[in-house]
Chains A and B, each alone.
Chain A
Amino acid sequence: MNVVIVDYGAGNIQSVLFAMKRQGIKAVLSNELEVIEKADKVIFPGVGHAAAAMEKLQKSGIDLLLPQLKQPVLGICLGMQLMCSHSEEGNTNGLGVFDVEVKAFEKKLKVPHIGWNTIEQLQGQLFKGIENESYIYMVHSYYAALSSDTIAVCHYDIAYSAALAKDNFFGTQFHPEKSSAVGNKILENFLVI
């Protein structure tokens, strides 16, 4: 299977690469549009600032390609947030795959939201075989609001989207590559979609 990890200079790409390796997949890192387009599966990671990341995507033309892709695409953390319509982080327009607003946590609780939390109301293929209230690793200061694309819910002060899905597009706010056995199962599920 040809898995391409979008490498646009943002995020902890090495960990995603190693997580694929643990699945027995030798994934390819690339920012070339042709390579991404021909992939069987595309993983779109990201850590850092939304505005800076969008700028990088625009430079490489990935911003236009990604929403057109037909194969399964998995956005992780900031990757998922960038697939939404807009983010309060740097007042940034996203790729608009998911019609969802990304908002800053109000500082009622500690921000960033760091650590292992539970996910619930799990839906669809990505969560096949995953028990309700499984623990996953979260680290973020902005969240995607609940929407009709929400396929998993997390609570931190408010209820928000722990994962989103629409057609061939998937996104997780948490880091499956850092979420131990549960995360590995979710990645395995993505690879067979």
Chain B
Amino acid sequence: MLTKRIIPCLDIKDGRTVKGVNFVSLRDAGDPVELAAKYAATGADELVFLDISATEQGRKTMADLVLKVAATVDIPFTVGGGISSVADVDILLKNGADKVSINSSAVRRPELIKELSQAFGAQCVVVAIDAKKIGGQWLVHLVGGKQATKLDLFDWAKQTEQLGAGEILFTSMDHDGTKGGFANEAIAKMAECVNIPIIASGGAGNMEDFYNAFTFGKADAALAASIFHYGEVEIPELKAFLKDKKIPIRL
């Protein structure tokens, strides 16, 4: 039986793991390769690395990091941040990334999804969407959540699927960093709109939150950062908890 995935996310700035709260105020959370190896060994199903360097030097450091991660971990991983062309993706996949995630660049130029999907296959194209509920409507935000658009979350999700996205990584900015649970209602609505897997992100605070994301939220995978980095939730304990509650989980 296909299992629900638990995905630790590592935000990378200039080669180090960092984690902000509500997209700001960064704290150092350690060496990414060491963290990745630890997560893989303790039962993470996949890993996501998001490059938030936004500098040329940072990008090069990221490509090197991908190579080091691929050498060390034996589970799949996704790399995102600052990707805007087939050439950008080519380097990351050649260095050993399994999938890439694109965000703002896909909103600015939706054709990018199609280009990547045709060049490398839909299975490695993850479209990340950051959204926030404003006046009753979920609106897509860009540039790490700093820039609002008029784009409706669910319309955009459908469009990404049509263009060839293989997965959607949905982050609720209203929930991110709050530790108050995932945006289950919106995730469940998205699950009805598209037929590709959805990774829920933003809001994980305890083990129950994951259970709710997989049941009420109908998410295929759940992603979290700080609670894993700071040991507030341990992956083996979380997976045993979910398995105990009849969620299909790989132990």
Contacts and interface: CB of A to CB of B under 8 A. Distances in A.
Interface of A: 12-15, 18-19, 21-22, 47-49, 107, 110-118, 135, 137-141, 155-156, 175, 177-181, 183-184
A48 B3 contact: no
A72 to B, nearest CB: 21
A141 B123 contact: yes
B75 A178 contact: yes
Interface of B: 1-5, 40, 45, 67, 70-71, 74-76, 93-98, 118-124, 166-167, 195-197, 220-221, 250
Tell me the dominant secondary structure on chain A's binding face: mixed
Contacts of A13: 94
B70 A14 contact: yes
Contact of B120 (A47, A112, A184): A47
B122 A137 contact: no
Nearest to B69: A18
Contacts of B98: 12, 15, 139, 178
Nearest to A183: B74
A107 B40 CA distance: 31
Given A117-B1, A180-B40, A19 B74 contact: yes
A135 B250 contact: yes
Contact of A47 (B1, B123, B250): B123
Given A14-B94, A48-B120, A139-B123, A110 B74 contact: no
Contacts of A137: 75-76
Given A18-B96, A47-B124, A139-B98, 5 more contacts: A14-B95, A21-B71, A114-B167, A116-B3, A178-B76
B229 to A, nearest CB: 21
Nearest to B199: A114
> Taking chain B's interface residues, is the majority helix, strand, or loop, or is none over half, making it mixed?
loop
Contacts of A107: 195
A113 B121 contact: no
Contacts of A175: 76
Q: Quick one: which of A13, A14, A115 has the most chain B CB within 10 A?
A: A115
A28 B58 CA distance: 31
Contact of A112 (B67, B70, B97, B166): B166
Contacts of B221: 115
A188 to B, nearest CB: 12
Contacts of A19: 74
Contacts of B118: 49
A115 B6 CA distance: 10
Nearest to A21: B71
Contacts of B95: 14
